[in-house]
Amino acid sequence: MNYAYERVSTIKQDEKRQEMAFNNIKIDKRLIDKMSGKTKDRPNLNKLMAIVKPGDNVYIESISRLGRNVDDLRQLVEYFTEKKVIIHFIKEGFSTNGTTHKFLLTILGAVAEMEREMIVERVKEGIKKAQIYGTKSGREFGRPGLTLHKDFEKYYRQWQLKKITAIEFSKLLGIHRSSLYRHINFYRKNKLDLLQQPGKCLIKAKEINETKIKAIETKVYKDFDDDTVLWYMERLKVKLKEDISYSRLHKLFKAYGHEKIKWVYKNLDSLEVKGLDRYSNFLYHVRYSKKITQ
């Protein structure tokens, strides 16, 4: 009687590849185990060992399907040989009907065992990486983090003052224009994130040039840049008791000028419109108030 023994490591794996190896062989009965080959204690293997009789043939796709441990392989082959059952290893092209199989079995079994150890090692490495990155693949999730050019801030300020165009800006950075605004947003967000970390802030008002601070606080300072906007943003957060976004405040500066923003900021406590909260009151006077004191 001809038996085919197949094994896959998990329930999800498909044994069809092994079935193809038996296409030209008349198989009377197939037995399949869906579990690791590190142990020889397998339900259908045990069943096969119990039902085979002298003269039967057992066909196996490869040595690794019978087992991945040299000692287990040797014991299994000896068991079947003592029962006068011949095992045929299709992939390796030899059987236990002769004397050379012991030598081949030892060599090829050792290779199968080494392969399993390498698989286990790779799996452990993958699990370790997955724990670090929190992803199934073990790769960092999403796009790789941005690294800004060392002179990004210098070129950024030139671009803000319209001394260079966006195309020239991107060429100086060595990036495509479509990536430029991603770098700009990253730069701005990084500044805002730092601003919101007490004790860790790198861009606080006190760290801005002292001359600029005096200009902001005491006189009309018509020009403005990121530091100016951030300085006001931090103080308006306290005064308005509500966050105002960088992008919105920057647009107000651009549309109405530093002089108007400075005047409304200084006189906000005396400027009230009935029915409006402090945030809406601030926006109203920036947009519609005509009176500006020097």
pLDDT digits (tens, 9 = 90+) for 71-102: 788 888 888 888 999 999 888 888 888 766 66
Indicate the domain borders of the chain: 2-133, 143-197, 204-294
Residue of higher predicted confidence among 128 and 254: 254
Tell me what pLDDT residue 204 has: 42
Tell me what pLDDT residue 231 has: 79
Tokens 């931090």 locate to 234
Q: Is residue 30 within 8 Å of 72, Cβ to Cβ? A: no
Q: Tell me: the pLDDT tens digits for 231-270? A: 787 788 778 877 777 777 878 888 888 888 888 888 888 8
Please tell me the CATH code under which domain 143-197 is placed. Answer: 1.10.10
Residue of higher predicted confidence among 46 and 135: 46
Q: Please identify, in words, the CATH class of the domain defined by 2-133.
A: alpha beta
Q: Which of 9, 62, 95, 289 is catalytic?
A: 9
Tell me what pLDDT residue 28 has: 92
Known catalytic residue at 9: yes
Tell me what pLDDT residue 196 has: 42
The whole-chain average pLDDT of the chain stands at 76
What pTM value is reported for the model?
Answer: 0.41
Cα pseudo-dihedral 38, 43, 46, 48, rounded to 10: -110
Sign (positive/negative) of CA torsion 28, 31, 32, 36?
Answer: negative
Tell me what pLDDT residue 62 has: 86
